[in-house]
A and B are shown apart, each in its own frame.
Chain A
Amino acid sequence: DIQMTQSPSSLSASVGDRVTITCRASQGISNHLAWFQQKPGKAPKSLIYAASSLQSGVPSKFSGSGSGTDFTLTISSLQPEDFATYYCQQYNSYPLTFGGGTKVEIK
C-alpha cells in the first residue's frame, strides 16, 4: 500500500496568512493526488484533483502543486471559512489512501 504522510499535523495561522501543507507519498504516484477540506461535523469537500487542478466552484486562493512523491496545498490568504482539516489522497493505485490530515486553526 502507498503511505501518505502529511505535515504538519496541525498549524495555527491568522486571517490573511499564506498557508502551505505538504503531503509525501511512499512511492511515486505521478500527479494522482487530491486534496479535501473537512469542517467539524460535515462531509469532506473536494478541492483539488490531479495535484493542481481546482474542482469546479473552488476559489482560486487554493492551489496545489507537485508530482511524483512530493505535493503541496497552498491557501494564499487564509479566511475565517478556511479553518478546517485538510486531507491529501492518492488515487494512483488501490487501495486508495489518505494522509493523516492537517488541522488549520485560528491563531
Chain B
Amino acid sequence: EVQLVESGGTLVQPGWSLRLSCTASGFTFGDYGMSWFRQAPGKGLEWVGFIRSKTYGGTTEYAASVKGRFDISRDDSKSIVYLQMNSLQGEDTAVYYCTRLRGVSQWPPQYWGQGTLVTVSS
C-alpha cells in the first residue's frame, strides 16, 4: 500500500525558514517523480513544485510564486522528499500535500499524503 506521510508543519514568523518532509512507503521511491501542492485556508489547490526521479535527472520545477524561495530535494536511500521553504510570508500559510505521480514520470499525481499545516504569522 502506497503511503505518504508529511511532517514539519508548524507556526513560524514571516521571514523564517522551514523544512517539510514527506516519508514514502509501499513503492520503489527512487523510481517516481514527487510533487508538492498546497491549499490555503478556505481556498483551492495550488501546485508548488516537482522533482523528477534520478533516472530523469532529479531536476525540479516550481510555481512562480515560490521559485527562488522554495527548494525540493530527495533522499532516495531514506524514501523522503523535502520541501525547504525560505523567506516565508503570510500568503504561504496553507496545508502542504506531498504527492506521488501516477507513473515514474507520468502526471498527474495519483497518491496524496494527509497534509501538514504551515502557518506564517507574527
Contacts and interface: CB of A to CB of B under 8 A. Distances in A.
Given A46-B111, A101-B44, 8 more contacts: A34-B107, A43-B97, A43-B114, A46-B112, A55-B102, A56-B110, A94-B61, A98-B45
A95 B63 contact: yes
A54 B122 CA distance: 44
Contacts of B109: 46
Contacts of B113: 43
Interface residues of B, number: 20
Given A87-B45, A96-B47, A44 B97 contact: yes
Contacts of B102: 46, 49, 55
Interface string A6-37: 00000000000000000000000000101010
B45 A46 contact: no
